[in-house]
Amino acid sequence: MKRRAFCRLHFIKELMFMPNVDLPLSELYHYKPDLTAQPDFDEFWNNAKADSKQAPLNAKAEPVNDHPLTSIRIYDVVFDGMDGTPIHGWYVVPAGDHAPGSLPVIVKYHGYNGNRGNPHELLHWASMGMAAFAIDARGQGGLTPVGAVFPQGSVSGWMTLGLLNPAEYYYRLVYIDCIRALDFVCGRQEVDASRIAVYGGSQGGGLALAAAGLDERPKLAMPYYPFLCHFRRAVEIHNSGPYAEIKNWFRRFDPEHLQEERVYRTLSYFDGINMASRVRARTLMAITLQDITCPPSTCFAVYNHLAGEKELKLYHDYGHEALPFHEEAMMRFAASYL
């Protein structure tokens, strides 16, 4: 028992004196690398959104009547992706009747290999008098299948599926699913479509940036330590997490990096720094300085390119981990501006 206590104390001391994992903070505040958007970036996404509008949503929202939470109404939702893949989600609203257009709504996107979660994870938003919607990212940890065929080989994970062509890349359909989630909530009678927020951490933060960068409907965006950002630097300096899949792809398929520029050209269409420059929503962003999965410089690159009004929460001694205190910060932000 004494040895266990000693080991824990030693670990805490090491954590307290852990050096920053990236550039000095004084440099991070001003870190604003050049954007990587290709000349046809907006055309690429406008075409994808136009294709999405031609595909029916076919949304179904089934009430969940046997759940112990009686202070909210819960709906098990399925809607079609633009390729017909069924996208699963949870939609919750406060119990009772609601006048048309009376509820603000918040849309949650989850982290890498996660899923829509459980209805009670949206309870705090409904307790604030809001509707809330959480969806799966296709093929990851939920009920939603991947729903696509990819032309080249890949490594385990999602980061390298279709890596050589932006029109075939895995995240093209995922980003459009995020926009179609906005279509779903805007189609709900009780929702005020002028009061939409999007949020998420890690991959969910990158998806929130994509939704707010590619669609003008979100009024608020709340990404924290976003993934899918500043790809080239992230691949170069990360020490854990899914960016390693891109390195492993090069090891397996292109050890001399002969296709490096082609790879990063594809990724530029999905890069959070290019999305950030198009975000007009008021944004609350959180960055953790000990993050070795989504390095701080990649997140500051996003924050410094955000085009709209923005606020930063900086957590000096935290890494890529749960931030329950930041959940409250997001609740206060949403209560103030939504």
Binding residues: 112
Using CA atoms, how far apart are residues 291 and 317, in angstroms rounded to an integer?
Answer: 9
DSSP string, 248-287: HHHHHH-TT-TTHHHHHHHHHTT-HHHHHTT--SEEEEEE
C-alpha angle with apex 128: 142 to 318, nearest 5 degrees? 60
Is residue 120 annotated as a catalytic residue, yes or no? no
Which residues are documented as binding site for substrate? 112
Cβ atoms of 326 and 224 within 8 Å: the answer is: yes
Using CA atoms, how far apart are residues 228 and 110, in angstroms rounded to an integer?
Answer: 13
β-partners of residue 223 are: 200
Is residue 320 annotated as a catalytic residue, yes or no? yes
Phi, psi of 208 (to 5 degrees): -65, -40
Is residue 22 annotated as a catalytic residue, yes or no? no
- Which is the catalytic residue, given 22, 192, 215, 291? 291
- Which is the catalytic residue, given 202, 215, 230, 305? 202
User: What type of residue is 65?
Assistant: N
User: What type of residue is 258?
Assistant: L
Pairing of strands 282-288, 191-201: unpaired
Residue with tokens 């300096």: 237
- Which is the catalytic residue, given 88, 230, 320, 326? 320
The Cβ-side half-sphere exposure at 79, using a 13 Å CA radius, reads 28
Burial class (CB in 10 A: 0-12, 13-18, 19+), 64: middle
| Token digits of residue 229 | 């950002």
Active site residues: 202, 291, 320
